[in-house]
Structure 1
Amino acid sequence: MKNTIEGFGELVFGLPVMEARLSAPTFASLKKTIDSGSTLDPGIADEVAEAMKEWAMEKGATHYTHWFQPLTGSTAEKHDSFIFPDFKGGVVTSFSGDELIQGEPDASSFPSGGLRATFEARGYTGWDPSSPAFIKYDSVNAATLCIPTVFCGYNGEALDKKTPLLRSMKVLSDQTIRLGKLFGIDCGDAMAQATLGGEQEYFLIDLDLVAERPDLLRTGRTLFGKPASKHQQLDDHYFGAIKPRVAAFMAELDAVLWQYGVPAKTRHNEVCPAQFEIAPVFETLNIGVDHNMITMEVLKVTAEKHGFACLLHEKPFAGVNGSGKHNNWAIMGPDGKNWLKPGDNPHENAKFMTIVVALLKAVDTHADLLRASVATAGNDHRLGANEAPPAVVSVFLGDQLTDIVEQIEAGGANESKDGGHIHLGVDLLPQLPRGNTDRNRTSPFAFVGNRFEFRAVGSNQSPAGANIVLNTIVAEAFDYICTEVETAVAGGKEFNAALQDVLAAVIKEHKRILFNGDGYTDEWIEEATKVRGLPNLVTTEDALPMLQTQKAKDLFAKYGVLSNAELESRFNIYEETYETIIGIEAATAAEIAKTMLVPAAVTAIAEYSAVPAVAGICAEMSSLLEKAVAGIAKLEAAEKPAKQIAAMNELRVSIDALESLVPADLWPLPSYAELLLV
């Protein structure tokens, strides 16, 4: 443990390293930029770059890269060495402030969604000082200095996920500070920060078995496979003892992540055999997103070292649990406190409940955007299944907070279900005890004590997209509440009375989003859609057009998070990505069925046809084979995603039925039992 503590963050050019290696004025200037979001002083860039280079070279680095997050959903790098010719037959090492601040990767082959033409190749990366640089070692132990950056086009258009995330964080900070001032909180130049604790679920499958599954290799999920007779029915894997081979993997995973400064905290077996989870401690949102992207990469690299393939697809196996990325979101005010943690006095709880009510307004107004932010081909398999929230977005507060919300709507809260009558003093809310809610795993957006958990984010997604939406819609709700209260107070109304009136009106308009029951039931879906009028955007094709509504355009443009052109580019990219993924899956399914599985069935039928005792099985296989062949033809003829999905599902029925009849030694694909239980 001593080595762990001393080694935590040793691959990170963080504040302790900066303070030790930079002059006091330079460190103070850079820290101010990090803490307050003020403009970077370019005059310090050369000193920072030189210190960063020397530190990185001491760690064995020969190259540096601007590490960015294009709209592919993953990360990107272009490595440049530190060496530069001295024009005397030798070289010197060099890394300037200009090279630190700005890079110029070729941007022509990254998706832009129409923001730029293919021949317009110029793109820029710009240093993000708020996320520390780090060293990354490859498989042969070569080291590269990775500098987190934004990525934009020649005219400044955002071509990445970090740029709008940082914009949304700034907008949320501005509106949070404004809200704080209403409650007498003024913390000078400090920023308010959204925070993230991103739980990450994943599967570990034996690497040799995955190599025999073209569907897993190409698409990340199994396109065929009959259920194993035993899988997760007994719930015996969940939180069970971790097997030695997996424990060794997890130990190395934690050790590497700690070196990167990722505060990995929790590890455990998940519900399905071969499924696991890792969760970190809360961090500033921007760093939390970067750390999750690092975590996904380290998961895959470390898994291979231990003979595993790490599957991050949302639904690698049909019929069992898929994987999500629970997005635990909170607000740390400029006073350094978590404002989603109930306070010790009525005044703090008035602020807390104002934020809760604002969240109700934000989620109800923009439930369609939240759903669109998690819309992917992989996540479509998961949302609405029994391990994930439904596609209908609702908010869970628990009985006590819901009761207080109802009291506010009725004219003011003066008691708590858990605490009896409370003297209010000057404010309108009772003191709230800790642990004031149960957990509701069926809710897409649930309050869980000191944060809201958005449970619909897919395991393979960057958390950036969902948090861009979340930050922006909450900022809008804060803006509305602040404006209404400020206007009322300016007109002579006392603050608490004005706040009570505004919150009551917001609750009355948006309380339909509240639901504390079982989100999995058909009755809830019917009530949500037919009675409450909540959107039910079941598929990605249903959800993505929500990015094109005038409401969405106005929201993101008003707060400068995404221009109309940038927002349209996201829609175009996500739509094309969805169609491409479905097309790859369809082509892979047809190829596997035609070249591997149909021949296996033909061989089995030929062997069985000579044995009268199994004539019935032979006839059943022949019938299924005929359906499979017809299904392949139908799949190959399908062109649009909806028809391709329907044809894949239809083909799978006959193929999976054949797997249950064809002798195991003839079936060319490792079975679910082998994949999940070996």
Structure 2
Amino acid sequence: MKQSVIEEIFAMDVFNDAAMKEHLPKPVYKKLKETIEKDVELDPEIASAVAHAMKEWALERGATHYTHWFQPMTGITAEKHDSFIAPTGDGGVIMEFSGKELVKGEPDASSFPSGGLRATFEARGYTAWDCTSPAFLKEDAAGVTLCIPTAFCAYTGEALDKKTPLLRSMEAVSDQAVRILKLFGHDEVDTVSCSVGAEQEYFLVDREKYLKREDLIFTGRTLFGAMPPKGQELDDHYFGSIKERVASFMKELNEECWKLGILAKTQHNEVAPAQHELAPIFSTANIATDHNQLIMELMKKVAKRHGLECLLHEKPFDGVNGSGKHDNWSLVTDTGKNLLDPGKTPHENVQFLLFLAAVIQAVDENAPLLRMSASNPGNDHRLGANEAPPAIISIYLGEQLEDVISQLVETGEAKSSKQGGRLKTGVHTLPDLNKDATDRNRTSPFAFTGNKFEFRMVASSMSVAGPNTVLNTIVAEVLSNMADELEKADDFDIAVHDLIKKTLSEHQRIIFNGNGYSDAWIEEAERRGLPNIRTMVDAIPSLTDEKTIAIFEKHHVLSKAELQSRAEIHYEAYAKAINIEAKTMIDMVSKQYIPAVISFITKVATSINQVKMACAEADTSVQEELLKKCSNLLTDAKKELEELKINTNKAGEKTNGKEQAEFFKDVVVPIMEQLRAAIDYLEMLVGKEEWPVPTYADLLFEV
């Protein structure tokens, strides 16, 4: 695609700044920009003018309907479409869209997860226009629809979505960061935004084969499957040449993203066969969240057009790398200054060191909560599996910053910063390269990568709103306490120096630059007192910890009731996910695997009898051994199947969300693993023509 074409289509379906400038009266445009950029309260008087301009723009592009596009606690997006038509007195229609319709919507709130905030009969909920995230157009079989990003709240005011807390947390971290910056003399700074870039990993498999796998359809992952002879051990897929079919998918995906103003930048093959990644350029956190939700939706939609299925589950295939969503997070002033940029001499950059210390303290003091923010049932299969960050939260800073911190902690003063120097390639025709001052560490769950932190634990299928809400809030709390202390100081320079040294000394335990995959690190982390929270269920209590409630209520991000509701929603989500997986396993084993194995061993038994009849002295030991192994494994599978049925029913009888989730984790999941082991072993014995579903070799290598 030519550059001119890309420039022409980029953001063509977005009511962005250029579209607003063209369609809005100048005074209205100015007021709206102040609201977006300066956190000024929305003036209701401009809503009608904006609604009219937005409608005219959408109608020009063929839109017939509009929707308040929101992100309930399901983790996916929701939308209810209304047409622009309104009746006229003569029996005709006109196209109308009022300011009231723009600002406020009223979807039914009773059927979305509320964690006890709303009873079933309490149906009223409201969507409120998020003017900081631009409206956009979606075109599908239903036509063209104007999508208006909104927040979603209950009739009583509690947040029922993921965006409202995110927006609240963005205001909180901005307020506290500005307080700190004012102390450094930066009176020109009015706001600080949370900047996010969410890298998205995913798998692509043939859709026809996908539709033959009940487990992929219902759960997003393969509940059964033996490893093929070749996996990812040759590292030949990573950054390898992209297959034609996949490249065609990526080309269309990029175009669809660009039309929506999504800055899709990087695409490549990931480590596992059939695994890939898309990375966008940074945006403010709420826009990045909206864009990532759209990216996941587009991936699913575009894949089907190419006869493919996009798998966003964290661990769709056992034995090969799973997928994550690396959340790159930083803080940027409205004057364009990245507060996490160390500069060339970080040891002299006191402001940077203070913000760095604040993040380190926030992560150390709230590690369980941060672990929870990246948790879902699928991520339990991925974290710590020698392919992804371990379940232990630690921070990688690299040699340069580790050295600066060591100087501060040990001597009270940092006098130097390690520099990168030059990398000599050893080939005369190749240029020598400027080398960064520090290496990268892909085993770290929370790594400093030059001028930002990369939170690598985040699950591939989840919204990035939750992790960034937590990051913003816990950092806001530390900055708030730091500002309280520094604002009272008689000598700011001495006070800030002492505060940096004290903070880094007290929280140095969270810094780890080594191999996060090693068993030695698990032992070392335990010695340091760092929590090792292995499952989502074990992480959920951090949401309702007294410290969490105090921090989130102080900064008006989530109330105690809202936090308790989210804990209940997470318990329910875990229980429902494992329940669906267990029932799918029961269905597949009962209706597919057991009949297939019986058919196979019957053929083997018949073969033995026929050989014996033809030649009584013939050696049938191979057939008999195969028959015995398959029969014994079939017996084991049947036994585990019955255990799974009994205990899945027991789990369903539990009415307490926490108890039910814990029962699924402690009792049902181990039985599922044992049942899988028996079936996977059988897959390696039973003839391919008898096996009832596509194998890993079929799914991973035949795209």
Tell me the distance in 1 between the aligned counterparts of 2:346 and 2:108: 56
Match of 1:132 in 2: 134
Rate the CA distance shift 1:85–1:434 in 2: closer, same or farther, 3 A.
farther
Q: CA deviation at 1:355?
A: 1.1
Match of 1:159 in 2: 160
SS in 1 for 2:298: helix
Q: CA deviation at 1:419?
A: 7.9
Match of 1:47 in 2: 49
Match of 1:565 in 2: 561
Matched, 1:641 2:664: yes
SS in 1 for 2:268: strand
Match of 1:65 in 2: 67
Tell me the distance in 1 between the aligned counterparts of 2:445 and 2:344: 29
Note if contact 1:10-1:259 (Cα within 8 Å) is conserved in structure 2: yes
Match of 1:123 in 2: 125
SS in 1 for 2:82: strand
Q: CA deviation at 1:623?
A: 0.5
Q: CA deviation at 1:141?
A: 6.5
Match of 2:430 in 1: none
Match of 2:636 in 1: 627
SS in 2 for 1:32: helix
Tell me the distance in 2 between the aligned counterparts of 1:40 and 1:345: 42
1:364-405, Cα deviation, whole Å (9 max, x unpaired): 000010001112110000000122101110000011101101
Q: CA deviation at 1:337?
A: 1.4
Matched, 1:575 2:571: yes
Tell me the distance in 2 between the aligned counterparts of 1:344 and 1:244: 43
Note if contact 2:10-2:261 (Cα within 8 Å) is conserved in structure 1: yes
Task: Supply the AA of the counterpart residue of 1:484.
Answer: E
Decide which moves more: 621-630 or 83-92. Answer: 83-92
Q: How is 1:181-200 mapped onto 2 (pairs within 5 angstroms)? A: 181-187=182-188, 190-200=190-200
Tell me the distance in 2 between the aligned counterparts of 1:553 and 1:124: 25
Matched, 1:533 2:534: no
SS in 1 for 2:94: strand
Q: CA deviation at 1:627?
A: 0.2
Task: Supply the AA of the counterpart residue of 2:696.
Answer: Y
Q: Which of 624, 636, 644 does residue 615 from structure 1 map onto?
A: 624
Tell me the distance in 2 between the aligned counterparts of 1:564 and 1:195: 27
Matched, 1:601 2:603: no
Q: How is 1:223-262 mapped onto 2 (pairs within 5 angstroms)? A: 223-262=223-262
Q: CA deviation at 1:616?
A: 0.8
Decide which moves more: 338-347 or 225-234. Answer: 338-347
Q: Which of 498, 501, 520 does residue 501 from structure 1 map onto?
A: 498
Note if contact 1:237-1:273 (Cα within 8 Å) is conserved in structure 2: yes
Rate the CA distance shift 1:142–1:10 in 2: closer, same or farther, 3 A.
same
Tell me the distance in 2 between the aligned counterparts of 1:626 and 1:31: 69
Note if contact 2:346-2:352 (Cα within 8 Å) is conserved in structure 1: no
Match of 2:475 in 1: 474
Q: Which of 21, 26, 49 does residue 23 from structure 2 map onto?
A: 21
Match of 2:287 in 1: 287
Q: How is 1:385-400 mapped onto 2 (pairs within 5 angstroms)? A: 385-400=385-400
Rate the CA distance shift 1:222–1:346 in 2: closer, same or farther, 3 A.
closer
Tell me the distance in 2 between the aligned counterparts of 1:477 and 1:517: 26
Tell me the distance in 2 between the aligned counterparts of 1:344 and 1:269: 34
Match of 2:383 in 1: 383
Q: CA deviation at 1:417?
A: 2.7
Note if contact 1:177-1:334 (Cα within 8 Å) is conserved in structure 2: no
SS in 1 for 2:501: helix
Note if contact 1:224-1:652 (Cα within 8 Å) is conserved in structure 2: yes
Match of 1:429 in 2: none
Decide which moves more: 581-590 or 401-410. Answer: 401-410
Q: CA deviation at 1:186?
A: 1.7
Match of 1:423 in 2: none
Note if contact 1:408-1:500 (Cα within 8 Å) is conserved in structure 2: no
Note if contact 1:239-1:268 (Cα within 8 Å) is conserved in structure 2: yes
Match of 1:366 in 2: 366
Task: Supply the AA of the counterpart residue of 1:654.
Answer: A
Task: Supply the AA of the counterpart residue of 1:29.
Answer: K
SS in 2 for 1:202: strand
Note if contact 2:347-2:416 (Cα within 8 Å) is conserved in structure 1: no
Note if contact 1:342-1:434 (Cα within 8 Å) is conserved in structure 2: no
Q: CA deviation at 1:171?
A: 0.4
Rate the CA distance shift 1:499–1:312 in 2: closer, same or farther, 3 A.
same
Tell me the distance in 1 between the aligned counterparts of 2:552 and 2:269: 39
Q: CA deviation at 1:434?
A: 8.3
SS in 1 for 2:413: coil
Q: What TM-score do you get using the length of structure 1 for normalisation?
A: 0.96
Tell me the distance in 2 between the aligned counterparts of 1:141 and 1:75: 17
Q: How is 1:504-515 mapped onto 2 (pairs within 5 angstroms)? A: 504-515=501-512
Tell me the distance in 1 between the aligned counterparts of 2:260 and 2:501: 46
Matched, 1:8 2:16: no
Tell me the distance in 1 between the aligned counterparts of 2:435 and 2:397: 14
Rate the CA distance shift 1:436–1:175 in 2: closer, same or farther, 3 A.
farther
1:303-332, Cα deviation, whole Å (9 max, x unpaired): 000000000000000000000000000110
Task: Supply the AA of the counterpart residue of 1:601.
Answer: V
Q: How is 1:259-274 mapped onto 2 (pairs within 5 angstroms)? A: 259-274=259-274
Task: Supply the AA of the counterpart residue of 1:385.
Answer: A
Matched, 1:216 2:240: no
1:144-191, Cα deviation, whole Å (9 max, x unpaired): 000000000101110000000000000000111111112111225x32
Match of 2:517 in 1: 520
Match of 2:205 in 1: 205
Note if contact 1:231-1:272 (Cα within 8 Å) is conserved in structure 2: yes
Q: CA deviation at 1:435?
A: 3.1
Tell me the distance in 2 between the aligned counterparts of 1:178 and 1:596: 63
Q: CA deviation at 1:498?
A: 1.1
Q: CA deviation at 1:6?
A: 1.8
1:433-491, Cα deviation, whole Å (9 max, x unpaired): 98332111111100000100000000000000000000001111111222222222xxx
Q: CA deviation at 1:64?
A: 0.1
Task: Supply the AA of the counterpart residue of 1:15.
Answer: D
SS in 2 for 1:354: helix
Rate the CA distance shift 1:353–1:266 in 2: closer, same or farther, 3 A.
same
Note if contact 1:342-1:348 (Cα within 8 Å) is conserved in structure 2: no
Q: CA deviation at 1:345?
A: 6.4
Tell me the distance in 2 between the aligned counterparts of 1:436 and 1:200: 27
Match of 1:427 in 2: none
Rate the CA distance shift 1:434–1:128 in 2: closer, same or farther, 3 A.
farther
Task: Supply the AA of the counterpart residue of 1:182.
Answer: L
Rate the CA distance shift 1:368–1:90 in 2: closer, same or farther, 3 A.
same
Q: CA deviation at 1:353?
A: 1.3
Matched, 1:171 2:172: yes
Q: How is 1:432-471 mapped onto 2 (pairs within 5 angstroms)? A: 435-471=436-472
Tell me the distance in 1 between the aligned counterparts of 2:630 and 2:344: 69
Tell me the distance in 2 between the aligned counterparts of 1:419 and 1:208: 51
Decide which moves more: 608-617 or 357-366. Answer: 608-617
Matched, 1:302 2:299: no
SS in 1 for 2:146: strand
Note if contact 1:401-1:436 (Cα within 8 Å) is conserved in structure 2: no
Match of 1:543 in 2: 539
Tell me the distance in 2 between the aligned counterparts of 1:647 and 1:29: 60
Task: Supply the AA of the counterpart residue of 1:474.
Answer: V
Q: CA deviation at 1:335?
A: 2.0
Match of 1:426 in 2: none
Task: Supply the AA of the counterpart residue of 2:296.
Answer: M
Task: Supply the AA of the counterpart residue of 2:88.
Answer: D
SS in 1 for 2:694: coil
Note if contact 2:84-2:97 (Cα within 8 Å) is conserved in structure 1: yes
Q: CA deviation at 1:341?
A: 1.3
Q: CA deviation at 1:418?
A: 2.7
Tell me the distance in 2 between the aligned counterparts of 1:315 and 1:252: 26
SS in 2 for 1:203: strand
- Number of matched residues? 659
